Structure 1
Amino acid sequence: MSTTAQQDSGLGQMKINRTVSERAVTYGDEITITSKLERRNANVNLIYWVAEHTPECLKPVPFASLPAQPGAEPVVTWSPSNGTAYTDISNRSEVDATPTVITVDPPLANSWEPPVTMTSRYIVECDAGQLATGGFQFDGTTRDGDFRTMGPTISVQRMGTSVFFAQPTNPEVGQQVTLRVTTSGIPDGGQVAFTVDGQNVGNATVSGNQATLPWTPSGAGTKQVRASFGQTGTHGGSVSQVRDVVVSPTNAASTVAVVAAGTPKVGLSTQLTATVSPAGAGGEVVFLEDGAQIGKAPVGEDGTASIDWVPSASGERTIDVNFSGRSGVAPSNGAIPVTVAAADPSDMATTTTLEPIATARVGQQITLKATVEVDMAGGTVNFYDGNDLIGTAPVQSDGTATLTWDPTTDGERTVRAVFSGHGVYLSSQDTKQAIITPKVVDPEPDPDPDPTDPATGSLGSLTDSLGGGAGGAGSLSSLGR
């Protein structure tokens, strides 16, 4: 909605009508100012030049081909009474633009006769509040006019802003992380303040709608991190949502070592055992043979993790182990060289068969049974639930190995049986799928049964059952007769 200011020249000969396209604007909006100079009588008054005066915070919109800087010719249109409209200034020498004044002074100025209309466009970069938009000035043959403060006044509002906090990595004490926000509406150079548990930890400068701050926590625990942009004369303030950052204690260093049981041989199962120091349950160890993963296992209370490894190639091999780390303990790596013996020509392949596993519930005992095709005693069978070792059983004289399993996790499980090999007999393995259903939880007994419920065994229901109800002759006392 436009607002208008009107001013007489004082001699009654000339009248100026000045219009701003909007009554209320927001920082960054574009407005159009139009000034119209008219005569009140027929006295001749030719116009030499006209000028718009505005506060410096109104930035003239420049030609698209010119940089947006003070002194660049603005987008301006003026129309004298001869009916010719001049737009975008074909002759730049006809217009002079400073940060506060746009003057039109064409060579044919002496031919101008009122009415004369001048229109220019501006970007509002002003502080919030009531803004006097300036005024109009002209120079003529019989009368000059200087009305630089005629207005009108418009209302300027702050531009809205927002600050969105990206979730930082959960660090440990003494580890530097980057606090990062994405902003909207905040100009480059604006300052975003970061707080941790209400205490300021630093300010960051906005650039390209981003602001980042390095932060090194000095204490462990859950920290509440927030970012905010303070209100300025041109922009509204904004505050991000709170982010919870969990700071862990400084991790202790760890070491991991690996050993291979016996002499590894192609086709025979060899147990690889990694030992983590400091000992304690948590984390896992990944085992690799010459860079290729061959298995992984969780770390137990004693700090060890083991897998079965059946070498497929002889010669020098390298076994690497990578410990993932656990709460309070940093990751670590280790390696050993091993020499794998070639299989003997007399070695015999075997087949291990794992019997199908019946569906069972969590906590219900299951008997796992594997049969090695050779009918002989010796060697062992390791049973696994995925990568977790369930247990080890010896191979009996009939070639079978059995183990009792109490599953603790429901779902479809992959159970694996690995025969270690023995003597001239090579290792083999088999897998089966097992369906483990959730544990059945009995409902809690009703602590306050309803006495009117016939299923509760109340005294009334007992009396009825003895014939003491309505129309019955019996009673509870008849039990004693």
Structure 2
Amino acid sequence: MSRSQARRGVAAVGVAAMVPLGLMIVGGGAANAAPASVDWWDGNSHFTRTISNAMPAVGEVVTTSTKFERKAWTSSEILHEVKDVHPTCLTYVEGSAKVDGKAQGLDSKGADFAKVKGSWTVYPNIEPKSHTFEFSYTVGADCARGAALPTSMHYSGGLGSGTYNDKGPAITVAKNASTTTLAAVTDAKVGKSSQLTATVTGGAAGNPVEFYDGATKIGAGPLAGNSVSIAWTPTTAGDHGITAKFLATGSANESTSAAQTVTVAEADVETTTALAVPASAVTGAAVELTATVSPAPAGGTVQFKDGDANIGGPVAVSGGVATLSHAFDAAGGRSITAVYSGAGGFLTSTSAAASITVTDPAPVDVETTVLAAAPTTAKVGAAVDLSATVTPTTAQGTVQFKDGDTAIGAPVAIIDGAASLSHTFDASGTKSITAVFVGGPGYLNSTSQPVTVTVSEPLPTDVETATTLVVPAAATVGQTVTLTAQVAPAAAGGTVQFKDGDRAIGLPAPIVDGKATLSYSFPTAGAKNITAVYSGGTGFTPSTSAAGVVTVSAAPAQGGGSLENIFGS
């Protein structure tokens, strides 16, 4: 404790007298959530500090209150600042600060304190004779359990200040109550692994849980989240009393699940599976695959396999036998097995592998048809696609495209019944296109009906033009001036329309030797934005010049009236 110079004498007495004057602590048990209080004198100031619940649980809210009073017939004191000090595992509840029961905004807060500032006068003989400061906190899961966590407060006032470290009352956070439940265990058998799963409330990840068969420990594991599972393989048949026990930790109490009676059945019967298959087969022709399970089980299925691939679906076992009729779709050596699923107390089993050599039937040449497709028109020098479709699509071979009797390019391989060729005709005329299929082994040749392609010369490309405008720099209203447009290259045909902004000036002027002119007198004064728009002609594209400015005045232009501006497109 420390006090300011103004109260040094009284503070000294308070320090010496603190213990003899009685550091009274009153506390209730966690079950009753009783408050705990401590009071002390420091000179002429009396402090009473109370915790609403000295033994809270995690997640509960506790409130601290500190009451300030003055000894009778002494001077009053103005409180300027009260700092409530708390364990760092408590979190301030926003908006909970109060002075004399009324909400008070915080001045500041930190990991271990909350502070208010203001001006509160405490009088010794008239009201207000006291002021009470309250702060509420939520108890965090990171609080140590079963250990006294100190609280305190500091203040400053008109007569000095007080720093009271660990004055109290202390808070002791109770351990979590825990509950443990054991999930139902079904289908337990001797020699078969079953899963035991326990769910715990009040624990934390990593806390240990043990499993028992009666008084015999089966195994243990740490919580992952709020549950844990272990594998249990019973060795004896009959009823077993299974429990799960959550072991006490520094933050939670021990708990044990209700005992669950698990009836363990006798071990399953071992089986053997024998497989019978023909030594050879032909693709597309069905053969029988037969599996015999011993001893004959009451139920279950057999899955026949070719290597790792299933052959059809599972086949039910009847009288210990399962049979599947199957046609192989490709030639080659096959390694066949039969896998019994197990059922009704009978264990699974897999047969030894049996080999089948599958061959294709004797080949028969297959007839084919081929259809040719091409665009009806084409241009000299422009590539077009020629295509052919062969039926059946499994046919192997090549297609030779022809123009009459002349081969077009090289033979094209058939892929999935189709072939295509990009071709450029080098002369105009009518072309008769056919596709000739040359079959591979087992497929006959065929030729398509001809398709006609009319090939023409490409159209000429128009020549781009550029238009240049020549206008005088200045003119006078009513004075005739010449506007000139030059089109390059010299266009054959077309006209030029002169414009003032968006307004046409005069009629379109014809092009002569690439040039068009217009004699024109401006009716009004001002700056005129003149352009020349070439219409385009046969084989020539349109073009527009850049804008030229003519300054038109009402009076005769003064000197330099003959200057011209030249503007290109």
Q: Shorter-normalised TM-score: what interval?
A: 0.3 to 0.5
Q: Give TM-score, length-normalised by structure 1.
A: 0.48
Q: Give TM-score, length-normalised by structure 2.
A: 0.42
